[in-house]
Amino acid sequence: MKASIVLALAVAQDCGLEQCPSGAILTCGIWCQQALSEDCLMNATLMPCQGSYCKTTCQRWYRSMTADLRTIRVTCQEFADFAFFSKGAAVCAEECLLPEIRAERYPSPTGYGLLCRPGSCDASSQARYAQDPVAIEKGLAALECPCNWFGSDCKDDWVQVRHVRKQWLGDFQLTFFSVDKGDWKKIMKDYRPGSILRVQHLDQNGIPREQPYALAGKDEEGILKVLTGPPPEGLHEVVVEVAHAVRQHTPGPCTTLFVNPAIAGFFNGRYEYLLDALGSVKQVAIVSSGVGFSGVKAAISGLLPTGLQMHIFYGVRNAKDVPYQDFLTSPLVEEKVKLTLLVSGQGPTSAAGNLQNAVDRGQMLLAAKASSAVPIALQPHVSGKIYAQQAVALDFLAGGLARIGASLSDTAVIICGRYELLRDTPTLLEAACKLRSASCKALIQAHVFTNI
């Protein structure tokens, strides 16, 4: 079909009988097959979308909506970039997604959130769909392997966990996965601070399920260290299946768990990794709670060679349950790390040894909330409590960071923990930053790092 005819059909179809305005982006349609490099707007009657996410490319539209799905495979890059939106997919139900990856933080690919196979929590593109004619017939697509990314069912990179060792610390389990040393090198090949380990097993139907964990560093060859807590409630059973399996696995030999090579790491709003984006940084603040402390340990280990001073704000239910205490109290770490503990549980807030100073710093920040100079946005939600995300913002205003003249212009902030931390910390930092800088949003984009 000649290009002029294609354009005429597009105009007739998408602009009625009137000429499209000059420079207008046409609605995606059959014409896209002959113009794969062009931009187009999703046809919302075929693929509901909202806002800027309605703009796509003819290449994406053709592959997702028009092509014969029996003849294509979703590439791993498309899968990781949310660049494929299967025509038979549906927006994932809330119970299918951890709070950290729901639509508020991950609206891709259409503005409404991640896409699933209708009626399930399975991703809309999976390798096993290549052997599932019903899935293909209903508009789902097969994923090309290998593909080591969140939600992928490819098994090409799987490494067998040989042994599991555990230490209990309140609700926490310090978990050590042993793998063959040759496999460990493969797993850690692309490791960086904040990297994620995808732990997987096969369910009763032979379908791969997974649980992501932040690695606690790479200091011991053959050992993969993670920190686990009770799985969150309110999620579909398949979402927390591996988390329960890891928690319930008794220490000893292991035949049912597998791990993939480490992926991701702490990155900023410009998608720059932490150690590559420290140009103007003079100190680092790290905000965490609960099992996020495994990522904190990894960040400390990765940053120690830089010589930067680190300020840690950690929310924990009981001070005695702070993980990795031997590491935190080692002379080298104590020299470069200033720890502040925000204890939220009932009962005494005392801690053993050097950790008591960290508890006292948390109590000082709690007292600072009474200052009239503190914006209302930073006030604790519960009387007598202060949360890690509030503590770091208060510290910029009335704590140790304020006393050394630190600001977002010369401080990197790492967030590693629950959804509330990821959601609230940038907002609270902006509230504190407005008293110090006119370019807060740009600074937050450049100097705030997360690993999810």
Please write down the HEC assignment for all residues of the chain: CCHHHHHHHHHHHHCCCCCCCCCCCCECCHHHHHCCCCEEECCCCCCCCCHHHHEEEHHHHHHHHHCCCCCCCECHHHHHCCCCCCCCCEECCHHHCCHHHCCCCCCCCCCCCCEECCCCCCECEEHHHHHCHHHHHCCCEEECCCCCCCCCCCCCCCEECCEEEEEEECCEEEEEEECCHHHHHHHCCCCCCCCEEEEEEECCCCCEEEEEEECCCCCCCCEEEEEECCCCCCCCHHHHHHHHHHHHCCCEECCCCEECCCECCCECCCCCEHHHCCCCCCEEEEEEEHHHHHHHHHHHHHHHHHCCEEEEEEEECCHHHCCCHHHHCCHHHHHHEEEEEEECCCCCCCCCCCHHHHHHHHHHHHHHCCCCCCCHHHCCCCCCCCCHHHHHHHHHHHCHHHHCCCCCCCEEEEEECCHHHHHHHHHHHHHHHCCCCCCHHHHHHHHEEECC
Contact (CB, 8 A) for 300 and 337: yes
pLDDT at 432: 85
Q: Is residue 349 part of a domain?
A: yes
pLDDT at 353: 66
pLDDT grade for 264, boundaries at 50, 70 and 90: very high
CA distance 191 to 366: 37
- Rounded percentage of the chain residues whose pLDDT exceeds 90: 81
Q: Same domain, yes or no, for 173 and 308?
A: no
CA distance 316 to 98: 21
Enter the pTM of the model.
0.90
Q: Same domain, yes or no, for 298 and 346?
A: yes
For the stretch 216-247, pLDDT in tens is: 999 899 999 999 999 999 999 999 999 999 99
User: How far, rounded to the nearest angstrom, does the alpha carbon of residue 228 sit from its chain's CA centroid?
Assistant: 16
pLDDT at 325: 93
Q: Same domain, yes or no, for 146 and 166?
A: no
pLDDT at 344: 82
The contacts of residue 264 (CB under 8 Å, 6+ apart) are: 194, 195, 196, 451, 452
Mean predicted lDDT score pLDDT of the chain: 90
pLDDT grade for 435, boundaries at 50, 70 and 90: low
pLDDT at 22: 47
Of 414, 396, 399, the residue nearest 293 (C-alpha): 414
CA distance 420 to 430: 16
pLDDT at 7 over 80: no
Q: Same domain, yes or no, for 243 and 319?
A: no
Contact (CB, 8 A) for 202 and 208: yes
Q: Are strands 163-169 and 172-178 parallel, antiparallel or unpaired?
A: antiparallel
Q: Same domain, yes or no, for 281 and 368?
A: yes
pLDDT at 14: 46
Q: Are strands 309-316 and 208-214 parallel, antiparallel or unpaired?
A: unpaired
Question: What are the structure tokens assigned to 253, written together?
Answer: 């030999």
Q: Are strands 55-57 and 115-116 parallel, antiparallel or unpaired?
A: unpaired
pLDDT at 19: 41
pLDDT at 18: 38
Q: Same domain, yes or no, for 147 and 167?
A: no
pLDDT grade for 15, boundaries at 50, 70 and 90: very low
Contact (CB, 8 A) for 378 and 393: yes
Q: Same domain, yes or no, for 123 and 192?
A: no
Q: Same domain, yes or no, for 295 and 443?
A: yes
Q: Is residue 361 part of a domain?
A: yes
CA distance 112 to 103: 6
Q: Same domain, yes or no, for 349 and 425?
A: yes
Mean pLDDT of 86-98: 96
Q: Is residue 369 part of a domain?
A: yes
pLDDT at 379: 64
What is the phi-psi region of residue 132: left when phi exceeds 0, alpha when psi lies from -120 to 50, beta otherwise? beta
Number of domains in the chain: 3
pLDDT at 438 over 80: no
pLDDT at 366: 85
- Rounded percentage of the chain residues whose pLDDT exceeds 70: 89
What range defines the domain where residue 282 resides?
A: 274-449
pLDDT grade for 256, boundaries at 50, 70 and 90: very high
Contact (CB, 8 A) for 21 and 8: no
For the stretch 122-180, pLDDT in tens is: 999 999 999 999 999 999 999 999 999 999 999 999 999 999 999 999 999 999 999 99
pLDDT grade for 197, boundaries at 50, 70 and 90: very high
pLDDT at 372 over 60: no
pLDDT at 367: 83
The domain boundary residue, chosen from 156, 185, 200: 156
Q: Is residue 19 part of a domain?
A: no
Q: Is residue 418 part of a domain?
A: yes
The domain boundary residue, chosen from 195, 226, 259: 259
Q: Are strands 141-142 and 309-316 parallel, antiparallel or unpaired?
A: unpaired
Is the C-alpha dihedral spanning 48, 52, 53, 55 positive or negative?
positive
Q: Is residue 317 part of a domain?
A: yes
pLDDT at 377 over 70: no
pLDDT at 406 over 50: yes
Q: Is residue 400 part of a domain?
A: yes
Higher pLDDT, 141 or 452: 141
The domain boundary residue, chosen from 103, 134, 156: 156
Q: Same domain, yes or no, for 150 and 169?
A: no
Q: Same domain, yes or no, for 87 and 201?
A: no
Q: Same domain, yes or no, for 315 and 401?
A: yes
Mean pLDDT of 199-224: 96
Q: Is residue 37 part of a domain?
A: no
